[in-house]
Structure 1
């Protein structure tokens, strides 16, 4: 099941890229110069995106482990 390992690795990379995107969004929100309340709202949205990206990355790692066990 080598294909499962590669698919899992690709999904994990998508999740890691999403985590990097969350870092960029958070830095933009903090450096935007907006009022603190607006920054908090922006960062709350980033937290949701961060959790989704983390879940996608974890799912990919699970696929990799399953592929290794099946092989």
Structure 2
């Protein structure tokens, strides 16, 4: 079950890196001084990636917890 814990930690870190990517992308969009429509479209894409990253991170944390419980 130790492999499940390590795999979950790696999956969770991938989700956290995805969250950092979302922050950086949103900051780049903000600095670009785009029109309202372009900003809205860009931020919708960031929100989609953000939700996926949160899901991946939560899945990784669940894997870690299951690995600890089963050990």
Runs of 4+ in 1 over 2 A off after TM superposition: none
In the alignment of these two chains, the number of paired residues is 71
CA–CA distance in structure 2, aligned partners of residues 38 and 31 of structure 1: 13
TM-score of the aligned structures, taking structure 1 as reference length: 0.97
Q: Which runs of 5+ in 1 are unaligned?
A: none
Q: Tell me, in whole angstroms, the C-alpha distance in 1 between the residues paired with 2:31 and 2:44.
A: 15
Deviations 1:44-64 (A, max 9, x none): 000000000000000000000
Residue of structure 1 in register with 2:42 after alignment: 42
Deviation at 1:30, TM superposition (A): 1.1
What's the C-alpha RMSD, in Å, of the aligned pairs? 0.5
